[in-house]
Amino acid sequence: MTRIAFFDTKPYDKTWFDALCVDYDIQITYFEPKLNQNTALLAKGFEVVCAFVNDHITEEVLDQLYDGGVRLLAMRCAGYNNIDFKAAIGKIHIVRVPAYSPYAVAEHALALLLSVVRHTHHSYVRTREFNFSLNGLVGFDLHEKTIAVVGTGKIGKVFIHICKGFGMKILAFDPYPDPSLGVEYCSFEEICKRADIISLHCPLTPESEHLINKKTIGMMKQGVVLINTSRGGLVDSQALLEGIRSKKIGSAALDVYEEEGELFYEDRSNTILEDDVLMLLISMPNVLVTSHQAFLTQEALQNIAKTTLGSINEYVKGDVMTHEICYQCATCHKVPNQRCF
């Protein structure tokens, strides 16, 4: 039987992993803490570790896992910028879930957009206090507005199709354009100048880090709306705050935040946040923040569990792991029918 150490466990994780692991010879031990240098020793004696997007998987953590017998790190998420891949090569195989539900994330992005431009979150709070005034709730039509989609992978494509249904004019930016989408691709600088709304759907890489910064915000139209359901590090939070204060950014809706690691997914209602930038962003009437929940649908959770357990089963059987990734994958073009090492 293969034993899995499962970190950063939430109740909704257990539902599908418990339901589907009966199909495999697998035993899961759930740990509530995140995986980091202080908790890695909990995985001693396990061959497989399952981790999540905000775990801190540094060289020190990987060395502890390897010394404790771990040979496979199964990330139950698409992102992997929190892993020191060079420290893992030759020691610990890494798999991920490249796509669990592009519809879940794209639909949440649209929900954020509709909420922030029509002020439905404010309306909800008002009416619960029997305040039925419409003052301050004036929004604008999405129809005929120009929206820029940054990143046209699986999620970006779904989001584009949704926006077409609203009759929006669509611009796109991606290093690898897809002509079949029937949208206008242009430079990021041109997007900044022309878009009424900018929605981020690209991965976090050294090239895309702080894609939204003081300089690019300065290029944007007055009152632009910014949506981010991708990675927090795409946006320079301080620059965003300054853009909102100056009214350059008309409104922002964020499901991710660059310093979310110790905050999101946790109940911090009885503590004083030490992150002044996040506190100020949340306090702004034209900013809407959700706690990295765009992925959180029944369909996505089922796909995450199914794909993760499938990868673990491939590892146990000695098969090629379909979703294995390492720091060389971007350049080696992965040899067919062969593991990364």
Catalytic residue list contains 266: no
Cβ atoms of 269 and 242 within 8 Å: the answer is no
**Is residue 106 located within the same domain as residue 142?**
yes
Cβ atoms of 169 and 144 within 8 Å: the answer is yes
Does 332 score more than 70 pLDDT?
no
**Is residue 225 located within the same domain as residue 251?**
yes
Give me the amino acid identity at 22.
V
* Structure confidence by residue, pLDDT tens digits, 82-99: 999 999 999 999 999 998
What 3-state DSSP class applies to 83?
strand
- Catalytic annotation, pick one of 76, 96, 201, 292: 292
Residue 57 covered by a domain: yes
**Is residue 187 located within the same domain as residue 123?**
yes
Residue 127 covered by a domain: yes
Query: What number is the average pLDDT over the span 195-202?
Result: 98
Does 261 score more than 90 pLDDT?
no
Residue 8 Ramachandran class (φ > 0 left, ψ -120 to 50 alpha, else beta): left
**Is residue 212 located within the same domain as residue 328?**
no
- Catalytic annotation, pick one of 107, 258, 260, 314: 260
Compute the distance between CA of residue 228 and CA of residue 113 in angstroms, rounded to an integer.
10
In the DSSP assignment, the letter for residue 341 is -
Other CB atoms closer than 10 Å to residue 60's CB: what's the count? Answer: 14
Residue 149 covered by a domain: yes
Residue 341 covered by a domain: no
Quote the pLDDT of residue 201. 97
What 3-state DSSP class applies to 26?
strand
Q: Which domain holds residue 179?
A: 102-289
Give me the amino acid identity at 69.
G
For CA atoms 119, 298, 324, 174, the dihedral sign is negative
* Structure confidence by residue, pLDDT tens digits, 49-68: 999 998 999 999 999 999 99
pLDDT category, 269, cuts 50, 70, 90? very high
* Structure confidence by residue, pLDDT tens digits, 29-51: 999 999 999 999 999 999 999 99
Compute the distance between CA of residue 159 and CA of residue 168 in angstroms, rounded to an integer.
12
Does 247 score more than 90 pLDDT?
yes
Number of domains in the chain: 2
Catalytic residue list contains 108: no
Catalytic residue list contains 260: yes
**Is residue 271 located within the same domain as residue 165?**
yes
pLDDT category, 335, cuts 50, 70, 90? low
**Is residue 106 located within the same domain as residue 242?**
yes
**Is residue 76 located within the same domain as residue 129?**
no
Q: Which of 227, 107, 105, 89 lies closest to 162 in space, CA to CA?
A: 107
- Catalytic annotation, pick one of 56, 93, 108, 231: 231
**Is residue 43 located within the same domain as residue 128?**
no
**Is residue 125 located within the same domain as residue 35?**
no
* Structure confidence by residue, pLDDT tens digits, 166-185: 999 999 999 999 999 999 99
Query: 42: burial class by Cβ within 10 Å (0-12, 13-18, 19+)?
Result: middle
Quote the pLDDT of residue 339. 83
Give the per-residue SS3 of 93-152: EEECCCCCCHHHHHHHHHHHHHHHHHCHHHHHHHHHCCCCCCCCCCCCCCCCCEEEEECC
**Is residue 109 located within the same domain as residue 93?**
no
Quote the pLDDT of residue 327. 72
Residue 81 covered by a domain: yes
**Is residue 77 located within the same domain as residue 122?**
no
**Is residue 51 located within the same domain as residue 127?**
no
Compute the distance between CA of residue 115 and CA of residue 280 in angstroms, rounded to an integer.
19
Compute the distance between CA of residue 5 and CA of residue 174 in angstroms, rounded to an integer.
37
Q: Which of 29, 39, 96, 42 lies closest to 69 in space, CA to CA?
A: 42
CATH for 309: 3.40.50.720
